Structure 1
């Protein structure tokens, strides 16, 4: 009899435990659904790249954007360019001090794609990119665009990415320049390569035939901003920033209104901002998402540090007017005071999903550095226009861009009242003879095509 009662008690205990677990799981699922939105993908900390939004609305594009961010920042596969390492864990993804390149880091850069000759095939430099050796002198990972200038010196064009009409480089509070890179995924690169869109002549002919350049679904472009990690701050910053190693110029100066850089050395760089552009079947005007580190700059001009060490803002200089273009005669390594003007509108959806995912990361992996990144917002076409119905010449349709404002404080530092589509509707083909420019599917990169030289 005692055995029977004991067995009955054990069975009841198991059943109650299962019911409680079921209720807890149901509650968790309901909570997640409330955060991500009805019918939207539930973001998972796995390298699963979504191909389209489930429903074209703000909640679903926010969830789509966050899942894409996870997939793009996942550790790269050591053998296959553009693919995630599926053996990597959540802890590997956000491990402090893990210098493994991320998936998007193995994409083709714009300068590798648009040269005066045909680009090398996809993945041609993968081994070099994956080389993390501190004494690597080959500089396989250059994170910004170069053009030849003044007798062969290298000129960084992407340092001007901070926008505006002067020479708006961006210098952080450590006195180091913020550097930029542009990356293209395999789908888009293959389309450019197979149609010779790196050649202005071939590009113009394709645009005439197709009434504009129209990229295939699945095309992606990413733009990243990076800060140099000072050696004496590495131990602190490695617990808050995703850090890689790459070659950056050790010398920079202004000449003839341009930023000239030289003397490349390998340094540790921390990810501070990431734009992600993704063309999908339901969003021919693209889904635009932007992420930034939480320690970049405050909203407003607080005079107290409040325990936060801002990368782009110094509370001791709170009386200095922020977000001012540097003049061409200004010393290039003088820190520039930056504040965040606004978040995306509506920003509550972004705030809700950020707080939920940051909390989940802190619980599941307390040391994960990606808990210190947030989505500013995502932009999507509320009245999408098919490629065939779009304009052949710029400006292209903005497809009812929603929300109206979306900027990244590390990239549009001096133009924070605009948005992605506000500018990218003016994308156009590269200059060719005296022909009028044609539409280039919201990609400014296509305008970098160069006349081809005979080898």
Structure 2
């Protein structure tokens, strides 16, 4: 019965893959913005706030300010501090990009939620804890298990796999096809909040359950908190209220705010211009005779998703960037639907996403002009903002309502999300608790809203769906990932 249900769900998603979405480059909508009116800030620290009610241009400027700060050179090799910029470096420094950037030093999901032992100090060197503690280096390799980039996810929450150069995936095999892999990380503010308040699975589960019940019963994160938001929940109430940017940090100063990044990677081929990509030697996973091993190889960054909680935007600001090439037909991106972790034959489709707004393109052009003036060789001239979203809305005609990244949310489930759960992604039912009440949001914000109603303050990294992580996604134990999300989000409604 479960098998038939998943097949039916996958079939329904595939059948509707051409409804309600557009493919391609730029939408013919958006307000004009003279180049000299666009304010691009390049600084070592990300902004911790933007004005309430910011317009699309201000949101795009904020997104680029985040992007530049997160891609600043990390100070870790000098002082052992993660989520910390090297103030001796700047974007006018020589080279296409630094050897280590700030967001790479954020905590990986298996550091935030270790399967074994306690959460370690945030500044410790990379340390990954899977339930399968027997994972060894691939035979014959000298792979390191302590690299900062650990791309342990190979699908989009279990709904599909994504490949590049896969034009003939539904016909003859393409020897050049490259699977897209992912990793998720959190910044210091989010990590330290969880470590200080809910460092164990049991305590986090209790807080998640309490928060979800409060939202369901009182429309608030905590008792008598209706309309008070989620930035300063009373201590001791056992509810999850991640730190908001521009609010007081008990350790001094103000919070940057909880931030999460999800990155998309793939290996390059002879068809790709390698000089245009940010590349890294990464930690990834392979199988041999049914056994999972770790290995190292050079992968290219093709997508970067940033979500950021601030006082004026407690429902997070969602910004998403991608490599300039990903939407080009010659890249041959195709997603393949999954049933219990196995690819469904004949289901390959081009990614299902919306065009980039002209205003977004103009802000990107302004960011590129400023960056080029500092360093004409910067690798980031090859990356663009795909869109940004702030205050939740139920208006499906609003700018970036269906915000999605071409290589992070590729199939209809995620690219056209506007539902109350992963199993009901298109029913236009409420999924976000905003100050004014429940909202039926769309795109990545609406999808993360499902996690909010589940009690984890918009974070899928804090839920109980396969976490702490037993094994990298390539392992057979992860084949029911989508079904787990469907069950979990259905139970919260």
With normalisation by structure 1, the TM-score equals 0.66
- Matched residue of 2:463: which SS? helix
Gaps of 5+ in 1: 1-29, 36-41, 129-134, 146-155, 254-259, 303-308, 314-321, 384-396, 429-436
**Structure number, greater radius of gyration:** 1
| 1:213 corresponding residue in structure 2 | 240
The answer on whether the counterparts of 2:126 and 2:147 sit within 8 Å (CA) in structure 1 is no
Distance 1:71 1:193, change over 3 A: same
**Per-residue CA shift, 1:423-454, capped at 9, x if unaligned?**
111116xxxxxxxx8521111111048589xx
2:317 is matched with which residue: 281, 287, 291? 287
Instruction: Tell me the residue number matched to 1:112.
Output: 111
Q: For 1:115, what is the secondary structure of its paired residue?
A: coil
Contact 2:50 2:62 in 1 (8 A): yes
- The residue that corresponds to 1:226 in the other structure is 265
Partner of 1:427: 451
From the superposition, tell whether residues 85 and 99 of structure 1 become closer, same or farther in structure 2 (CA, over 3 Å).
Answer: closer
After superposition, the C-alpha distances for 1:102-141 in whole angstroms (9 at most, x for unaligned) are: 101101111111123321111111599xxxxxx9733212
Match of 1:61 among 59, 62, 71: 59
Q: Which residue of 1 aligns with 2:461?
A: 445
CA shift, 1:340, in A, is 5.8
The counterpart of 1:240, out of the listed 270, 276, 283, is: 276
Which residue number corresponds to residue 172 of structure 1? 164
Counterpart of 2:145 in structure 1 is 139
Contact persistence 1:343–1:406 (CA under 8 A) = no
Shift of 1:329: 5.6
TM-score when normalising by structure 2: 0.61
Q: Structure 1 stretch 68-77 or stretch 44-53: which is displaced more?
A: 44-53
Distance 2:196 2:36 in 1: 42
Residue 138 of structure 1 aligns to a residue in which SS? coil
Q: Tell me how far 1:414 sits from its aligned partner.
A: 0.9
User: In 2, Cα distance between the equivalents of 1:198 and 1:280?
Assistant: 26
Q: Distance in 2 between matches of 1:326 and 1:220?
A: 29
Structure 1 position 348, deviation (Å) = 2.2
Distance 1:444 1:89, change over 3 A: same
Query: Which residues in structure 2 correspond to 1:279-428 (within 5 Å)?
Result: 279-298=309-328, 309-310=330-331, 312-313=332-333, 323-325=335-337, 330=343, 338-339=350-351, 341-344=353-356, 347-381=357-391, 403-415=400-412, 416-418=415-417, 419-427=443-451
In structure 2, distance between residues paired with 1:50 and 1:119? 27
- Structure 2: 5+ residue stretches without partners: 1-32, 129-140, 166-175, 212-220, 223-238, 245-256, 418-442, 470-493
CA–CA distance in 2 between the matches of 1:202 and 1:379? 28
Please report how far the alpha carbon of residue 338 of structure 1 lies from its aligned counterpart in structure 2 after TM superposition.
3.0
Q: Higher relative contact order at CA 8 Å, sep ≥6: structure 1 or structure 2?
A: 2
Correspondent of 2:74 among 73, 76, 81? 76
Residue aligning to 1:24: none
Aligned twin of 1:193: 195
Structure 2 CA distance, aligned partners of 1:405 and 1:202?
31
Counterpart secondary structure, 2:302: strand
| Correspondence for 2:184 | 182
